[in-house]
């Protein structure tokens, strides 16, 4: 590499321009939204939208604009909530090795910048849904943001029950998608089909987040978080809890099949059963001492589990609805 090798339109060693600084700040703002989590939340909303549209027998040609609005509104709100979470937890993030390089604790962004940015996105997401005529979806979206930011985040340093409480806003995005595609969205919120999807996503989060808590138990303790790992008297209590939640997850994954038998069949049922049993087996392999290596395997398995289940849901729903032939 020579001293005159170009870096964009600049030569190496040249001071960064205002454009370079702006691009760097923009990249850090995007990082503050936890893009990986935002993508998963948006994907959950998309799955809820597709299943709802199939369940209600809607034609594909009528779904393009509502789908775009749904995804934009969900992504904006999720981005805002995640950035607000980073603003609230900036001092604890600075303590943990896994989070100290985030934009605020690393000094890349000022807290006030992230606060304004996150608040704007958190309001813009529900606003997009509301002005587009999806009032129920907008209400669910705003509730998700409030539950995540104002209730779950502060409780993380108070009680291990925060994990269960946090699973509620974590599962609500699939209902945002359902409501956006439903012509009777308000009525649907009292019906079993929509909530069967919520239960699936709710139950999945428990072994997923407990695996993370095992992996980073010492860092969480140093930062003052109160997960089950910090409060349980023995590790085998945690193991039993994870195993129990994994079994609940298997049952919850079958719930959509029972709630919408006209839409889902043997294909989805087998995928849900096989993937669920696989997760239970991985939990039992953790051992009484909760080895971090086993927890890491379980964590990555959970990352695989949910998209596979989503693919099976969408595939069966499309077949059940007769798409793309409608």
- d(Cα 179, Cα 53) in Å, to the nearest integer? 9
Domain span at residue 113 reads: 31-321
Show the tokens assigned to 299.
Answer: 């964590």
Q: Does some domain include residue 50?
A: yes
Find the length of the chain.
Answer: 326
Question: Is 101 inside any structural domain?
Answer: yes
The verdict on residue 3 lying in a domain is no
Q: How far apart are CA 5 and CA 213, in angstroms?
A: 45
- Domain count of the fold of the chain: 1
Q: What is the pLDDT of residues 180-227, one digit of tens each?
A: 999 887 888 888 999 999 999 999 999 999 999 999 999 999 999 999
Q: Nearest CA to 210 among 147, 301, 102?
A: 301
Q: Is residue 12 part of a domain?
A: no
Higher-confidence residue of 126 and 59: namely: 126
Q: How far apart are CA 199 and CA 321, in angstroms?
A: 22
Residue pLDDT, tens place only, 9-29: 444 455 566 565 666 999 999
Closest-CA residue to 227 (of 157, 317, 142, 312): 157
Q: Is position 176 within any domain?
A: yes
* Residue 1 confidence (pLDDT): 36
Residue 97's CB is within 10 A of a number of other CB atoms, namely 10
Tell me what the mean pLDDT of segment 253-276 comes to: 94
For the chain, what percentages of helix, strand and coil (3-state, to nearest 5) are there? Answer: 75, 0, 25
| pLDDT over 90 percentage in the chain | 78
This prediction has a pTM of: 0.91
Q: What is the structure's pLDDT at 187? A: 87
User: Is 106 contained in some domain?
Assistant: yes
Residue 209 lies in a domain: yes
Q: pLDDT band for 6, please (50, 70, 90 cuts).
A: very low
**Longest pairwise C-alpha distance within the chain:** 67
d(CA 141, CA 42): 12
CA distance 194 to 173: 11
- Mention every residue, 6+ apart, whose C-beta is less than 8 A from residue 23: none
Q: Are 55 and 322 in contact (CB under 8 A)?
A: no
What pLDDT sits at residue 320?
A: 86
Question: Does a structural domain hold residue 6?
Answer: no
* Domain harbouring 107, CATH code: 1.10.600
């Amino acid at each position: 590499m020579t001293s005159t090798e170009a870096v964009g339109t600049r030569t190496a060693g040249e001071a960064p321009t205002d454009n370079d600084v702006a691009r760097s700040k923009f990249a850090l703002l995007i990082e503050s939204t936890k893009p990986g989590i935002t993508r998963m939340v948006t994907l959950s909303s998309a799955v809820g939208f597709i299943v709802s549209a199939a369940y209600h027998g809607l034609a594909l040609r009528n779904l393009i604009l509502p789908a775009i609005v749904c995804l934009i509104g969900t992504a904006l709100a999720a981005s805002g909530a995640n950035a607000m979470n980073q603003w609230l937890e900036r001092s604890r993030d600075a303590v943990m090795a896994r989070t100290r390089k985030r934009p605020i604790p690393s000094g890349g962004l000022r807290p006030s910048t992230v606060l304004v940015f996150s608040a704007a996105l958190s309001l813009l997401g529900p606003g997009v849904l509301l002005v587009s005529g999806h009032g129920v979806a907008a209400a669910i979206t705003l509730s998700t943001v409030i539950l995540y930011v104002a209730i779950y985040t502060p409780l993380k340093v108070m009680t291990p029950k925060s994990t269960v409480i946090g699973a509620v806003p974590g599962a609500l995005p699939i209902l945002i998608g359902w409501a956006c595609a439903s012509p009777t969205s308000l009525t649907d919120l009292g019906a079993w089909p929509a909530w069967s999807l919520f239960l699936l996503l709710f139950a999945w989060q428990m072994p997923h987040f407990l695996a993370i808590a095992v992996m980073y138990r010492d860092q969480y303790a140093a930062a003052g978080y109160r997960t089950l790992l910090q409060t349980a008297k023995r590790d085998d209590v945690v193991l039993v809890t994870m195993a129990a939640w994994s079994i609940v997850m298997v049952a919850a994954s079958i719930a959509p099949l029972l709630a919408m038998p006209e839409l889902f069949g043997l294909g989805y049922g087998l995928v849900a059963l096989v993937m669920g049993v696989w997760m239970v087996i991985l939990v039992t392999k953790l051992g009484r001492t909760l080895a971090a290596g086993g927890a890491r395997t379980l964590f990555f398995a959970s990352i695989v589990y949910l998209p596979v289940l989503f693919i099976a849901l969408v595939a069966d729903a499309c077949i059940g609805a007769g798409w793309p032939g409608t």
